Chains A and B, each alone.
Chain A
Amino acid sequence: MLQNRGSVSDAQDVFQEAITVLWINVKEGRLQEDVTSDPGAYLFRVAKNKWLDVLRSAGHKHSAPMVDEKHIPQTVELADDAEERIRRLQAVYSNLDEKCRAVLDQFYFERKDLATIALVMGVEEESIRTIKYRCMMKLRNLKHLIGGEEA
């Protein structure tokens, strides 16, 4: 990317996006064996493809990519679906307030139990249970944003 009109900041952004694509594909079991055996190569391909998209975008329309686009592998197609999915999920998550994020992150992402979260946040375990339920119901009511389903 640095040799192809990109900055360090661009490289970091593209890498973060690519690694998130890898993460969601692993979570959902959508990766083929060649990818799981060499995640670094997959990441590189996704990042490369993303950068080519950026170069083709309006901001870079005068920049000619220095890569042969014919050689973009098929596996990168997976990334396009994943990116759309990530965008929808992020839109839903962004509707949660800070308190909800703190509780839900600890429970579902860090996999802490209710007692531990209660201890960390200095409240009763039953309160954490209620907050978790309330916050997840908020997400449930936003489900049309995730799945395109009518509310």
Chain B
Amino acid sequence: MKQQALHIARFEEIEAYLLGRSSEPAQFEERMASDLDLREEVEVQRENMLAVELGGFSRTIAEISKRNASADPVVGPAPVVRRASTLWVLRIAAGVALLLGVAWWFLARPDAFDQVLAEYYVADPGLPVPMSATNDAAFHDAMVDYKMGAYPKAIAKWNVLLVNDPQNDTLRYYLANAQMADVNVVEAIQLYQGLSADTKSVFHDKAEWRLFLAYVHMHDAEQVQNFKVASGSPYAAEVSAIQELLKE
């Protein structure tokens, strides 16, 4: 492979594919099939990501081992043992079991927040294009991008519209959804917060629910636990169940 500079956009496109976040994985694979350089670049990046994950995993295991050793000075560096006592064997077995459990947990990630998100978060399907509330061709055009999973394109187009129509709740709601789907969670939160404060908006309850899920996405335990939905919200039960689940 030629050692050329890799533009950040191409790097992030490969990264998104490898992390399972690509909006168009099938198209990306089609391009890989006919582009040797791209294929090799993907393999190099896969290896690099594995090197980083391995570094993180080794560090974590070493930290656990160190903590375990300092908590129990007997299970630390020790002289050669010719006849291990039953107590020693039990202590080592306990340490091994702890390490095995933690390592297996790392293999079986994601954590509780990620699990909740995987279970409850579903991208909004979008509006039927000819019937959108704004009755605007530019809005429909971006909605087509949104429905196709081309979130950055939809975001760019809706941001332009938002400049001239900043109070349009339909626009703000779908822009927030596009930001969320594109994993721009901070931007999504700002938009959802505005919509949640507008109790007259038809998107109020949905925005509130998605704001809550955005906090889950951020692993923001404090916001999740302090979150209160409006009375009569159809999402009250889900919010309450998730708060209970994430209490620890």
Contacts and interface: CB of A to CB of B under 8 A. Distances in A.
A146 B48 CA distance: 8
Interface stretch (B81-89, B133-141, B147-155): B81-89
A12 B62 CA distance: 10
Contact of B51 (A20, A111, A146, A149): A146
Contacts of A147: 44, 47
B51 A92 contact: yes
Given A111-B109, A125-B186, A151-B3, A20 B54 contact: yes
Contacts of A127: none
A16 interface: yes
Pick the most buried of B48, B65, B77, B100: most chain A CB atoms within 10 A of its CB: B48
Nearest to A94: B55
A19 interface: yes
B103 A113 contact: no
A20 B53 contact: no
B55 A90 contact: yes
Interface of B: 1, 3, 6, 8, 11-12, 15, 44-45, 47-59, 61-62, 65, 69, 75-84, 88-89, 92, 95-96, 99-100, 103-104, 106-107, 109-110, 114, 183-186, 217-219
B53 A27 contact: yes
Interface of A: 2-3, 5-9, 11-12, 15-16, 19-20, 22-24, 26-28, 39-40, 43, 86, 89-90, 92-93, 96, 101, 104-105, 108-113, 115-116, 125, 129, 133, 136-137, 139-141, 143, 146-147, 149, 151
Query: Is chain A's binding surface mostly helix, strand, loop or mixed?
Result: helix
Given A92-B48, A93-B51, 12 more contacts: A7-B80, A15-B96, A16-B61, A24-B54, A86-B54, A89-B51, A89-B55, A93-B52, A111-B114, A133-B11, A141-B3, A143-B47
B75 A143 contact: no
B217 to A, nearest CB: 8
B57 A22 contact: no
